A = this chain, B = another copy of it.
Amino acid sequence: MAALQKSIDKRNALIDATIELVNNDGFHATPMSKIAKMACVSPATIYLYFENKQDLVNKTYIEVKSSYTDYAFATYDENLPVEKGFEIIWKRIAQFKLKESTYATFLAQCDNTPMIDEASRQEGIKHLQPLLDLWARGKKEGLIKQLSDYMLYAYAINPLSFLMIAQNRGSIQLNDQELQQAYEAAWNSIKVCK
């Protein structure tokens, strides 16, 4: 349907503009009018798609978080052995964070800020389940340390956020070899040392 498609396009344009502007200027310095202008719609049009500014940001967060996890697990298969499975997920996450850094930056800002509703935050966490399942399996098989999911995430995944931000700021530029090192550091920090 042409009309429906146009609606979806507009909504997406708004979401994209929100990400772009919040990334560059921060939530506080991103007026609705600027979002509207970047999305090539009238300010009033935003309110056809979102209840208010908070809702726009919440929905944007959920959408981005969801595309993050979709990306992360796109090539993962539950039947893979633990280490291989982890490697695949980790590298997809790394790719997302370092290549789709616009999205990743936005998520980092949301996750470290009272910018987002608690409800939306909870909603966003849900989709990480396959990784938690993998870790559970790894622990049962004695391959992964008996640490809480938070601890595992902190050491295996979260460093990527830091590297992503450093790369965005131009402080570093990770090449394939360094990425491999990073992966190994991640795996080392959670695997059971034989």
Is A8 at the interface (CB under 8 A from chain B)?
Answer: no
Size category of the binding interface on chain A: 35 or more
Which secondary structure dominates chain A's binding surface?
Answer: helix
Give Cα A155–Cα B178 distance, bound, in whole angstroms.
13
With A108-B112, A150-B171: A155-B26 Cβ-Cβ less than 8 Å: no
With A28-B28, A150-B163, A189-B185: A112-B111 Cβ-Cβ less than 8 Å: yes
A151 adjacent to B163 (CB under 8 Å) = yes
Question: Among the listed B23, B111, B158, B188, which residue makes an inter-chain contact with A158, where contact means beta carbons less than 8 Å apart?
Answer: B158
Is A36 at the interface (CB under 8 A from chain B)?
Answer: no
B188 adjacent to A166 (CB under 8 Å) = no
Across-interface contacts of A155 in B (CB, < 8 A) = 155, 159, 182, 185-186, 189
Across-interface contacts of A114 in B (CB, < 8 A) = 23-26, 29
A interface with B by C-beta (< 8 Å)? 23-29, 108-109, 111-115, 145, 147-148, 150-151, 153-155, 158-163, 165-166, 171-172, 178, 181-182, 185-186, 188-190, 193
